[in-house]
């Protein structure tokens, strides 16, 4: 009998799939299903929301049964948290890259803002999804800390970016960097929310302009420190 093991990888699926080329060790195979489940989860959750999505649908879109899903995750919530972690990592990195690439403070602000707006346009469902889950998670005492942690992750990245800018451009802040980060994160979130509910209400350059204003007001050249900052 022909050993037709080449697993009809029909689902082009793209993304994170590990092509079932040749034989896979247990570990590899497991990691592979996990990835495919996560990819399916991303797509289904984004389409239907956390409440609207059914684990059945996710499993089947991944080409597995719910059994497989429950064998790899503790349940719907756990699956979602894993997804969220992965996505936030990626988003944070993207923003950070956009910011660091720019030369001046103002350009950094508008660069980051522009990237954020682009992300809203490109994947509105994903942001929507996070907010939905945020609401769900905040209510549940077991989940809240995990949600808080994920958002703290984002704040930390922002704090780091601000601190970098302050150091590189030799500035002084009217507000601790952490707090500025909170405000910026809040602004970004809020802008996203408004735009998702009513895209016309939010001009694309608004966030950049506001950020610039805010930075202009919140920073000033540092008084004489060791670091050279010639006038």
Partner DNA sequence: CGAATTGGATAATGAACATTATCGAAATAA
Partner DNA sequence: TTATTTCGATAATGTTCATTATCCAATTCG
Residues that bind DNA (CB under 7 A): 23, 25-27, 29-30, 32-33, 52-56, 59, 63-68, 70-72, 75-77
Q: Is 179 in the site for a second copy (CB under 8 A)?
A: yes
Helix (H, G, I), strand (E, B) or coil at 171: strand
Give the span between the Cα atoms of 204 and 200, in whole angstroms: 9
155: partner contacted, choices a second copy, DNA, none (Cβ within 5-8 A by kind): a second copy
Q: Which is nearer to DNA, 125 or 168 (CB)?
A: 125
Q: Are 168 and 104 in contact (CB under 8 A)?
A: no
| Nearest residue to 88 via CA among 28, 144, 136, 131 | 131
Of the candidate spans 21-29, 60-68, 79-87, 173-181, the one that interacts with a second copy by CB under 8 A turns out to be 173-181
Distances (CA, A) of 230 to 24, 26, 170, 183, 222: 61, 61, 10, 31, 11
Residue 175 interacts with, from DNA, a second copy, none (CB under 5-8 Å by kind): a second copy
The position carrying tokens 């808080």 is: 148
Parallel, antiparallel, or unpaired: how do β-strands 171-173 and 219-221 relate? Answer: antiparallel
Q: Could you say which residues in the range 198-217 bind a second copy, by CB under 8 A?
A: 198, 201-203, 206-207, 209-210, 213-214, 216-217
* Residues of the shown chain interacting with a second copy in the complex, contacts defined by CB under 8 A: 49, 51-52, 128, 131-132, 134-139, 144, 147-148, 151-152, 155, 174-175, 179, 182-183, 185-191, 193-194, 196-198, 201-203, 206-207, 209-210, 213-214, 216-218
């Amino acid at each position: 009998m022909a050993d037709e093991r080449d697993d009809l990888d029909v689902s082009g699926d793209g993304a994170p799939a590990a092509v079932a080329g040749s034989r896979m060790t247990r570990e590899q195979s497991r990691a592979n299903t996990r990835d495919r489940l996560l990819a399916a989860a991303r797509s289904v959750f984004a389409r239907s929301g956390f409440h609207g999505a059914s684990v059945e649908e996710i499993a089947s879109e991944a080409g597995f049964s719910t059994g497989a899903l429950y064998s790899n995750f503790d349940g719907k919530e756990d699956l979602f948290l894993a997804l969220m972690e992965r996505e936030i990592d990626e988003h944070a990195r993207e923003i950070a890259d956009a910011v660091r690439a720019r030369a001046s403070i103002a350009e950094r602000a508008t660069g980051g803002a522009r990237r954020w707006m682009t992300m809203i346009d490109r994947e509105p469902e994903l942001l929507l999804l996070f907010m939905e889950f945020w609401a769900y998670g905040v209510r549940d005492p077991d989940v809240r800390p995990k949600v808080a942690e994920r958002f703290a992750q984002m704040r930390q990245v922002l704090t780091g970016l601000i601190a970098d800018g302050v150091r590189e451009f030799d500035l002084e802040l009217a507000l601790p960097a952490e707090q500025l980060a909170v405000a910026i994160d809040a602004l970004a979130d809020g802008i996203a929310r408004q735009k998702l509910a009513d895209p016309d209400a939010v001009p694309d350059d608004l966030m950049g302009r506001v950020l610039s204003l805010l930075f202009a007001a919140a920073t000033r050249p540092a008084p004489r420190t060791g670091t050279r900052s010639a006038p």
